[in-house]
Structure 1
Amino acid sequence: MNERANLALFRQEAIDSRKHKWFGRPQLLRPISATVATGCAVVAVAMIGIFVAFGEYTRRVRLTGTVQTSVGVVRLIAPQAGQIVETSVSEGQEVHKGDRLYVVSTDSTTSDGNTYAAIIGQLRLQRNELQQEMARRVELDKEHKDNLQEQAAALEREIAQVAAQISVTAAYAQTLKQFADRLEGVVEKGIVAQREFEVRRESYMGQRALLENLRRDTIQLRAKLQETRSKLRGFDREAASVIGGLKRQISALDQQTADMERNREILVTAPQDGTVTAVLVREGQTVGAGTPLLSILPASGHVEVHFLASSAAIGFIRQGSPVLLRYAPFPYQKFGQYPATIAEISRVALRAADGEGIAAGQIAGKQLPSGFYRVTAKPEQDTVLAYGEREPLQVGMDVEADVFLETRKLYEWILEPLYSLSGGIGGKPGSRARNESGAG
């Protein structure tokens, strides 16, 4: 019996299965949502794969900085302690080089009044006296010169008269001599008395003496005329020397007065053309030496944004790299971001001891490392569109920016650790050239 059972045509499991066939064949039921979810998952995986294979990512560096101008803002300070007695400018006013901005008074008051005012009054009084003395001197010099000219003319006339008298006397003496010579011959013959000859001889000798006196007078007159002419020739120089001395004294008094005026009131003028901004001091205020007065935004130049980048961020920043700017006064969530381009990069690290680096290193309340680099970006436009109007950028605005660096495939960024392990630096061979040429 057991052998027959073992020799049966069908297995026992098949026979048992046929017993329950009347229940029907079982069928696995799958819900429609599971199918849709599976399809979506497959599509999502495919899209992620395509995105990873063909998508790109640009590495960026975030910097903070301020809006500046290419020529720098002029900040005026008080040259000396004193009181502002006059203010000639207001916020936003256009000024030109040399325009009057402030008048700072440094005068002090004593029991006798204002010290500088009293000293200046005395100096001006001395100057007036010197001017009057110079005017009197000019009149006296003119009279003296006229007298010398009249003396010279009188001497010339007197010399001419003496010359004429000498001519007449010489002719008369010659006549007397001839007459005396004739009488001398007649006296020897006894025709004329000796006494008459002697009288004629004395007359002749008297005329000779008179002639010599006249010639001596002529020499003296010519000497006086020469002296007078010499005085006339040097008169103008001597008079000019005296007048020059008085003028030098007046000039010295003017210099002292100017110094006193400068010490009393200091005039602060505009060093260049521009727009007045940040007026810190008003009329009536007392200021110390070095106190900031105002700033002047130069009319020339263009708007720039200055950033300070650490050594870790400066490696891949290049001139021409694109930048997106976000101005602190204009939130980018509402007013958007504005494009710019890297225009200049300092090649030497700045230090906190470099002066402006200390203040610049604390942009937006963040203390930067001791060594940093200055990066200058040039915005494509110097205004911001706010509520339909163009608002100009103001110097000193805080700015946050993203500088776009290298661009690579997503899978290169994902697999970068493997590239590093295999000896690659920063991606697959050949990616560096593509990164530099496709930055931004």
Structure 2
Amino acid sequence: MQRVSSMSAFGRGRAARPPGMRLGNLDAQVRAALFGQGQGGYMLSFDRTDCLYQAPDGTLQASAAGNPLGLVLDQRFGGPAADQIINGGFNDASGWTLSTPWSISGGRAIKAAGNSGSLTQAQTLEVGAYYEITFDYYNVSGSGTLYAAIRGGTTRFGPVVTADTLGTGKYRAVIQAVSGNNTVDITVPNGPVVGEFDNYTLRKLPGNHFQQATATARPILRQGTSGAWYAEGDGVDDLLIIPAAIDLSAFNHVTQFLGIALNTAITSGRVIAESSANSGTIPATHGFVFGADQSISARVYGANAPVTVVSSGGAVVVGTKYNAMHSASLDVANNFLQINSLQSSSPNNPGGTKFGNFAHSLLGRNGTSGVNAPAALYCYTAVFSNGPLSAVQQALGRSWVRSKMGA
């Protein structure tokens, strides 16, 4: 039975988050303009606590300055997909498998005192995809814990919460499915725990999500004096990666937007963001780099190797915010780099085929040395769209970037 529940702070947004954390009209306009025709890519910012997690398993949100960033969800689709749970309102027992002492009555699933147990439902889950599980809980008490899990194959756990002081509220978990996963549940492993549950949902989180499996290589979430949120890279090994290939087959044109600030001066080339067929060994098909003179350059794939198609033509100032955009086409010679409304252009047409379907990285490329090393960088936002954009669409993308930078 669908009810409106009271909500605890658990699993929700940061209490002190400014109103801009909510999906606004500009967010929707940018998604429609940059991805409305099926373009591949991603869209992310660091002011959305519901999209930030401390590790790739999604069990703990990055909810405060100083938290590590192990998973950053793509905002390109604006939110999760449709709920795929059958009878999440518990009108009866259909769709669910109950173990003692679980029962369903009055439009709620009820866990009585006694044995441990779980409430499960079979589901078809996509390997590698992230899913959001939510449910409401009422009058939960007793010595022990509870959590959501995805089972079958290797069990994937949501956040484990202590039941004795839980009371009434809402649970939320983000879990990545792995091979063999085929059921979802509420698990109460301790007999004394009692409570009632309702409004169970399971929604896939579509998009291309950045992650970092190595704990010591995770950028840090920070907030500037202007209130803007950003990821801080250490310039040594911190970076975020989309490990799976992004499908860029629809168009042979790419546009990337970045909101960045250089943290410390550099004396050798550093990667800001790029796509690459094989991180660390194969040159980028498209990317932004800092030159040794602290200029920003964009490069795209040529016949056999990447070529720098355009450069900012001057050093960026450490600590100054830059909204940079690069548009590159493999059909026509209209490559250009625009930084804070100043545009440089180049007649260099790299030729070759489409940009291909490659993994992407942000803040660096797998910590390799030389020009491939990560940058000591503040990153406020990043957007990558695989499709030709009009001047109006480009301006809209830049406006969104500036809004996320407090500029």
Q: What TM bracket, shorter-length normalisation?
A: under 0.3
Q: TM-score, normalised by structure 2?
A: 0.23
Rg larger in 1 or in 2?
A: 1
Q: Which has the higher contact order (CA 8 A, sep 6+)?
A: 1
Q: TM-score, normalised by structure 1?
A: 0.21
Higher helix residue share: 1
